[in-house]
Amino acid sequence: MGRSVFEDIGFSPAEAAALKLKTDLHTKIVRCAAHHSQQELQTLLDTTQPRISDLLRGKMSKFSLEMLVIYAEKLGLRTEIRTTTPKKQARAHRAAVGSAHFVL
């Protein structure tokens, strides 16, 4: 798999993966939030207007991944985290353990 923009600016692959997850979720929340006024969002997300403003302005450092998941769920978005094994690693793993198939 190629490097991400986060890796290109100096983050480790693990940090880059976490930032990409957070960024993707934030983007989906903001798109969904665009259908509501800030006042409606305050009620839906049970938070203050300054927090709504920070969310909509992209101040992601103020929000944990957990809080973004909570906001997404409150907006009716289904959230899940899937893990997969890279294809080369999966082939080597299956060869090492026989023909078993593992899904993470």
Domain spans in the chain, listed from the N-terminal domain onward? 5-97
Model pLDDT, residue 101: 42
Residues ≥6 apart with Cβ < 8 Å to 79: 25, 69, 72, 73
Report DSSP state, residue 45.
H
Domain 5-97 classified CATH 1.10.260.40? yes
pLDDT of residue 89: 64
pLDDT tens digits for range 16-67: 988 999 999 999 999 999 999 999 999 999 999 999 999 999 999 999 999 9
Within 8 A by CB and 6+ apart from 75, the residues are 29, 32, 33, 44, 45
Give pLDDT, residue 41: 97
Report the mean per-residue pLDDT for the chain.
Answer: 85
Distance CA 79, CA 65 (A): 11
Residue 2's pLDDT is: 61
pLDDT at site 99: 44
